[in-house]
Amino acid sequence: MNLFEKSFLYITITLLSLLTVCSKPDNKRIVLAVGGAPSEVEFWEKIAAQCTEQTGIELQLIRQPTDTDQRRQNLVTALRAKKATPDIFLMDVAWIAQFAGSNWLEPLQPFMDKHTISDTSFFESVVKQADHYDNKLIALPVYVDGGLLYYRKDLLKKYGYEKPPETWNEFIDCAKTITEKERQKNKNFVGYVWQGAQYEGLTCNFLEFAGSDKPGIVIDSSSPIIHTKRNIEAATLMRDLIEPYNISPQNTYTDMKEEEVRIAFQSGNALFERNWPYAWKLHQSEGSAVKGLTGVALLPHFKDGRSASTLGGWHIGLSRFSKQKDKAFTCIAYLLSSEVQKQFTIQLGWNPGRPDVYNDSTVLQIMQHAPILKEVFNHTVVRPVVPYYSYMSAVIQRYLNAVLSGKIEASAAFIDCEKELQEISRRYSK
């Protein structure tokens, strides 16, 4: 071998070994798909690095978009193609059943048994209602969302109200009285902002108006029922708040999604707001007109009902097509540990699915409303856990939005809506 041949061999060997190091085969690392706001994804990168350091398993992120639907599409494509990655992913609670019904989720109990992690560490009602399918545990909560009533503490006090209203009648009286007075100084002031635009958030709001004694959408032996006295009462109230009560603004049914609602309240132009817990941290941020003035309570209810909070949030699942399920579960266990959940709470204002985090002193310091959150999460109402839920919700949103705009009466809307829902259920039921 001459010098040239020797050097060539040396370079080739070096390159080959470098390539082996750099391109670790896929079966070495665990791939996690997450999306959300850019700041949230940024934080996930940090958590993934920590997971790698702590568990010795390389956790790599696939960054997904912010939008729930795009995130779902993204995952559906990979799972339909039975791809081995992502091994683990976050799911909106609203689409867990679709994934489970498609048989894309690996049951978790056998892995839980091997690890020190127990499902009793999480909110029992959440795990029971959202994370089971065909009696199997197929997901676990990363963070939970529930509808909350935010209110202006200062204004209630100013007008002599000792506590936020509990029933809708009390709520209407209080909102009307204060709004009329406040409007004399600020013509943009409104009584109540909530999510009424035609999208998933509207279904969530409707379920809360309807209350939790009898959930607004019941699927009775595969037959959806929505045309009920309580639902008509709830949808009529939603409409009445806009008109004739003039408590909620006209653009409720055209524009109001989470961020529009949050901004209206945060700029000091609303007495009450319905939103998810994420809004709390932002309301308390520098520059917020409601910093230090915001209270949190359970949403109001009808006199003969009780407060209901739609269960939202994001859950982690393990792909049935993952080739490294044991290792993937080790990462899940790490991400769901108290330590990591605490970090999500402190940094992002998320609400962990584990009650123990709410007792932590640092968490309590930044979340003075933690006790009320705990109560909210014990009052949740769940969107129907069926694989065809997204199709049903699209129909419900269309009819409800028409009721809010005054185009159709609630009773007539629910008769037609129920027919469409039953047709969907016939088409998609097993």
Binding site for ligand GLC (CB under 6 A): 68, 92-94, 145, 200-201, 204, 276, 312-313
Nearest to ligand GLC of 33, 112 (CB atom): 33
Residue 212: burial class (beta carbons within 10 Å; 0-12, 13-18, 19+): buried
Whether 142 and 331 have beta carbons less than 8 Å apart is answered as no
In the bound complex, which residue of the shown chain has the CB atom lying closest to ligand GLC?
A: 312
Nearest to ligand GLC of 312, 317 (CB atom): 312
Question: Could you tell me which of 320, 353, 425 has the C-alpha nearest to residue 75?
Answer: 320
Q: Min. distance of Cβ 80 from ligand GLC in angstroms? A: 22
Handedness of CA 58, 62, 63, 67 (dihedral sign): negative
Nearest to ligand GLC of 32, 93 (CB atom): 93
Nearest to ligand GLC of 248, 330 (CB atom): 248
Q: CA separation (Å) from 148 to 142, 193, 195, 214, 392?
A: 19, 12, 12, 19, 24
Q: Min. distance of Cβ 56 from ligand GLC in angstroms? A: 32
- Contact residues for 290 (Cβ-Cβ < 8 A; gap 6+): 152, 265, 266, 268, 283
- Contact residues for 336 (Cβ-Cβ < 8 A; gap 6+): 117, 121, 122, 140, 142, 316, 353, 354
Q: What is the token pair recorded at 195?
A: 């999510």
Nearest to ligand GLC of 274, 325 (CB atom): 274
- Contact residues for 89 (Cβ-Cβ < 8 A; gap 6+): 32, 33, 34, 75, 316, 317, 319
Nearest to ligand GLC of 313, 349 (CB atom): 313
Nearest to ligand GLC of 230, 257 (CB atom): 257
Q: Min. distance of Cβ 61 from ligand GLC in angstroms? A: 20
- The 10 Å Cβ neighbour count of residue 152 is 21
Q: Min. distance of Cβ 393 from ligand GLC in angstroms? A: 9
Nearest to ligand GLC of 204, 264 (CB atom): 204
Q: Min. distance of Cβ 64 from ligand GLC in angstroms? A: 14
Q: Min. distance of Cβ 342 from ligand GLC in angstroms? A: 20
Q: What is the token pair recorded at 53?
A: 């350091």
Nearest to ligand GLC of 207, 417 (CB atom): 207
Per-residue b/e over 365-383, b at no fewer than 16 CB within 10 Å? eebebbebbeebbebbbbb
Q: Is residue 67 classed as helix, strand or coil in its secondary structure?
A: coil
Question: Could you tell me which of 322, 327, 305 has the C-alpha nearest to residue 381?
Answer: 305
The DSSP code sequence of 217-263 is SEEETTEEE---HHHHHHHHHHHHHHTTS--S-TTHHHH-SHHHHHH
Q: Min. distance of Cβ 158 from ligand GLC in angstroms? A: 32
Q: Min. distance of Cβ 36 from ligand GLC in angstroms? A: 9
Q: What is the token pair recorded at 346?
A: 């402190």
Nearest to ligand GLC of 90, 105 (CB atom): 90
Q: Min. distance of Cβ 282 from ligand GLC in angstroms? A: 14
Question: Could you tell me which of 137, 80, 98, 148 has the C-alpha nearest to residue 311?
Answer: 148
Nearest to ligand GLC of 145, 418 (CB atom): 145
Q: Min. distance of Cβ 315 from ligand GLC in angstroms? A: 10
**β-bridge mates for residue 62, sequence order:** 33
- The 10 Å Cβ neighbour count of residue 396 is 25
Rounded to whole angstroms, the Cα distance separating 68 from 53 reads: 30
Q: Min. distance of Cβ 197 from ligand GLC in angstroms? A: 10
